[in-house]
């Protein structure tokens, strides 16, 4: 059997055409997603109903033939599995019960209890590993500890992660205990996804950019390195993609510091800089601004080609720099894929 393209790129191979998938590829910009979500009732029911979660995971594969499918779930299922209340407010986003005191922390469940809540997610992975085309790679994922902690501490998304920074600065032992709990839960969660059939796992540190200096080392790099080491120990050969979004200059060296096989780049990174300073350590992924999926046209084609050209000399997975937005047009996704797969990007 010829090896799947995504796994070849992750193993460090330079391919003539990069494999391609898209963050949030199963999402509200697709009418078939909206129909299945309607059927499920609400977003969390969709996440916890394996047949429906598998269905929405497969929809973008059927429609576009992406090289990878990403498990449909959410990074906030881990806090819920640790005992936090979680709900989504339509048009606003997630809400959680907060962890800001030791008594809040003491009410959290021990890490091995997470599987009770997360078992349906593993079932989704099992369904997908049977249902996916043989050339499509299945990616599992979790939020990185810092990003998950920012939601657990604030009880919602925050523009500057203020409440998490406050807890870090005012009660560092409690903050670090929380990060440790999430780190351990994440290892168990990703291991279980791999045992169920995930072939690659990705760690989303969406708010890495607000950690500076030693905080970046202690709360972004160190937990990612711990998770990667534990996974490599339990499941040798399973590649890990790390996404320290908005890490800026700290993208340089990130793969070496954490042991990740691939670093995902947000769209603020200069691709030619990243080719020289990040891709030299292994595979890179991402970088196309998601706004092109709304606006399309010649700028989309040019930006797509520029990324393909910049990364043509090394291992590369084509992707956006962040998730596709609900107002995106599926025709623009098709145009991006065709542009990548046509090659000849001059």
* Residues flagged as binding site: 24-28, 74, 151, 206, 322
CB 246 within 8 A of CB 209: yes
Q: Looking at 28, 63, 95, 309, which residue is catalytic?
A: 28
Q: Which residues bind ligand CP3 (CB under 6 A)?
A: 23-28, 37, 43, 70, 72, 74-76, 93-94, 141, 157, 204, 206, 323
Rounded distance between C-alpha atoms, residue 65 and residue 67, angstroms:
6
Beta carbon of residue 323, minimum distance to ligand CP3 (angstroms, whole number)? 4
Bridge partners (DSSP) listed for residue 308: none
| Three-state secondary structure of 93-140 | EEEECCCCCHHHHHCCCCHHHHHHHHHHHHHHHHHHHHHCCCCCEEEE
Structural tokens at position 118: 């997360």
Minimum separation from the CB atom of position 240 to ligand CP3 (A):
15
How far apart, in whole angstroms, are the C-alpha atoms of residue 173 and residue 194? Answer: 32
Annotated binding site for substrate: 24-28, 74, 151, 206, 322
Q: How far is the CB of 245 from ligand CP3 (least distance, A)?
A: 6
Closer of 206 and 314 to ligand CP3 (Cβ): 206
With respect to ligand CP3, which residue has the nearer C-beta, 27 or 315? 27
Cβ neighbours for 153, distance < 8 A, ≥ 6 positions apart: 98, 99, 100, 163, 164, 167, 175, 178
Is 67 annotated as catalytic? Answer: no
Q: Is 37 a catalytic residue?
A: yes
Catalytic residue at 74?
Answer: yes
- Measure the CA–CA gap between 169 and 161, rounded to whole angstroms: 12
CB of 198 to ligand CP3, least distance (A): 12
Residue nearest to ligand CP3 (CB): 206
Instruction: Using DSSP bridges, classify how beta strands 86-89 and 93-96 pair: parallel, antiparallel or unpaired.
Output: antiparallel
- Which one of 33, 48, 122, 151 is the catalytic residue? 151
Helix (H) or strand (E) holding 148: helix 145-154
Sheet with 283-286, edge to edge strand ranges:
68-70, 137-143, 200-205, 240-244, 262-265, 283-286, 316-317
Q: Are 223 and 183 in contact (CB under 8 A)?
A: yes
Between 142 and 310, name the residue whose CB sits nearer to ligand CP3. 142
Q: Is 151 a catalytic residue?
A: yes
CB of 207 to ligand CP3, least distance (A): 8
**What are the C-alpha distances in Å from 34 to residues 39, 172, 186?**
9, 42, 29
Closest-CA residue to 11 (of 247, 167, 323, 241): 241
Q: Is 99 left (phi over 0), alpha (psi -120 to 50) or beta?
A: beta
| Residue 205 β-bridge partners | 244
- For residue 63, which phi and psi values (nearest 5 degrees)? -70, -40
In the complex, what is the shortest distance from the CB of residue 256 to ligand CP3, in angstroms, rounded to a whole number?
Answer: 24
63 carries an active-site annotation: no
Residues labelled catalytic: 24, 28, 37, 74, 151
């Amino acid at each position: 059997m010829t090896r799947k393209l995504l796994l070849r790129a992750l193993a460090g191979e330079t391919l003539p055409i990069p494999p391609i998938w898209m963050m949030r590829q199963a999402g509200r910009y697709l009418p078939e997603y909206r129909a299945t979500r309607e059927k499920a009732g609400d977003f969390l029911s969709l996440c916890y109903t394996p047949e429906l979660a598998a269905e929405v995971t497969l929809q973008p594969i059927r429609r576009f033939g992406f090289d990878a499918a990403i498990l449909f779930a959410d990074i906030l299922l881990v806090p819920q599995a640790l005992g936090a209340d979680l709900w989504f407010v339509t048009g606003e986003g997630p809400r959680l019960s907060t962890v800001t005191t030791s008594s809040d922390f003491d009410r959290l469940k021990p890490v091995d209890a997470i599987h009770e809540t997360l078992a349906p997610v593993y079932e989704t992975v099992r369904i997908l590993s049977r249902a996916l085309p043989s050339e499509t790679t299945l990616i599992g994922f979790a939020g990185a500890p810092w990003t998950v902690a920012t939601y657990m501490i604030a009880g919602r998304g925050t523009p500057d992660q203020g409440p998490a920074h406050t807890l870090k600065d005012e009660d560092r032992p409690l903050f670090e205990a929380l990060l440790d709990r999430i780190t351990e839960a994440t290892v168990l969660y990703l291991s279980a996804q791999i045992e169920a059939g995930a072939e690659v796992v990705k760690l989303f540190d969406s708010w890495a950019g607000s950690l500076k200096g030693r905080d970046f080392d202690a709360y972004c790099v160190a937990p990612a390195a711990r998770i990667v080491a534990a996974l490599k120990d339990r499941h040798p050969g399973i590649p890990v993609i790390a996404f320290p979004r908005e890490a800026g200059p700290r993208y340089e060296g990130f793969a070496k510091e954490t042991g990740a096989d691939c670093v995902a780049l947000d769209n603020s990174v200069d691709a030619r800089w990243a080719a020289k300073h990040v891709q030299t350590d292994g595979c890179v992924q991402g970088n196309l601004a998601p706004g092109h999926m709304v606006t399309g046209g010649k700028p989309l084609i040019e930006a797509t080609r520029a990324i393909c050209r910049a990364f043509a000399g090394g291992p590369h997975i084509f992707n956006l720099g962040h998730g596709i937005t609900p107002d995106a047009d599926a025709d623009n996704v098709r145009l991006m894929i065709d542009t990548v797969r046509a090659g000849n990007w001059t």
